[in-house]
Amino acid sequence: MTESKCPISGASSTSESKCPFTGPTKVMSYPNAAKANDKGIITGLTNKRSSDGMGLPDAISPSNIDLIVATAPVVAPRMLDITKCFYTNVLGKHPELLQFFNPAHNVQDSDHQPKALAASVVAYSTNIQDLSPLLVPGGAVEAICNRHAALEIHPMQYVVVHENLMNAIGEILGDIVTPEIAGAWSEAVLFLAKVFIDAEEALYKKLEEREGGWSG
């Protein structure tokens, strides 16, 4: 029986209880990732709505849930670094996304938005085995969906978020993120994207069905 240390937490582990981050392979790609084909697709009002045809997962596989549960406690302390990296990268590539943020939060210089996203990701990963506390009426998911619908967030913007968040995870955590772990987090992010997209589409339809309602 050999003993090693987790590269993130520093905790000792045996070969029977191996740190899930231990792995020699650097992540070069992310399984299950939908792709945005060009920059313009994330802002056009003609973007296709709903998650139909996007190839997003209907559920998170049990093995990937286990990986999220195993890795979340050691990823959480680095989550603010990850979300700071995410916002730097995504706004560098897509400065037009600034229009969706409250100018008072000064998202490019303030920690307000990175902290909010970090807290949301930690809450999601903490509840990954049972998401019902986040999905209750008036809960976190409904509140986020209402804000997104008010801003007319479109499905392909979630693809951009997924790609840049996964890249930020790889950039901050580096070689310790194995392909299996990257795949688990990728699937979890894409599943949550589907939850948001479908819930927001329901809100858009409800608005359209009202007398004098419209969308776009």
Residues annotated catalytic, as ranges: 158, 200
Distance CA 59, CA 99 (A): 32
* Dihedrals phi, psi of 187, to nearest 5 degrees: -65, -40
Residue 12 belongs to what H/E stretch? Answer: strand 12-14
Distance CA 176, CA 189 (A): 19
By CB atoms closer than 10 A (0-12, 13-18, 19+), residue 155 is buried
Residues 6+ apart with CB under 8 A from 216: 45, 152
Q: What count of other Cβ atoms lies within 10 Å of the Cβ of residue 87?
A: 21
* Dihedrals phi, psi of 14, to nearest 5 degrees: -100, 170
Distance CA 159, CA 121 (A): 16
CA-closest candidate to residue 188, choices 36, 73, 68: 68
Cα 145 to the center of its chain, rounded Å: 14
